[in-house]
Structure 1
Amino acid sequence: MKEVKIESTFYVFETFDELPNEAAVLMQKAFEARDKAYAPYSNFNVGAAILLDNGEIIIGSNQENASYPSGLCAERTAIYYAGSQYPNAKVLRMAISATSKNKPTQSPIPPCGACRQAIAEYEVKQETPIEIYFMGETGKIAKSMSLANLLPFIFDKSVL
Structure 2
Amino acid sequence: MLWERSKKVVAKDIFARGFNCSQAVIGVFCDELGLERESAFKIATGFGGGLRQGEVCGAVTGAIMVIGLRYGHHCEGDNEAKQETYKLTNQFIEKFKEKHKTIICKELLGYNVANPDEYAQIKDKQLFTKVCPQFIADAVEILQEMEQKE
- TM-score, normalised with respect to structure 2: 0.33
The higher relative CO (CA closer than 8 Å, separation ≥ 6) is in: 2
> Normalized per residue, which structure has more helix?
2
> Normalized per residue, which structure has more strand?
1
- TM-score, normalised with respect to structure 1: 0.32
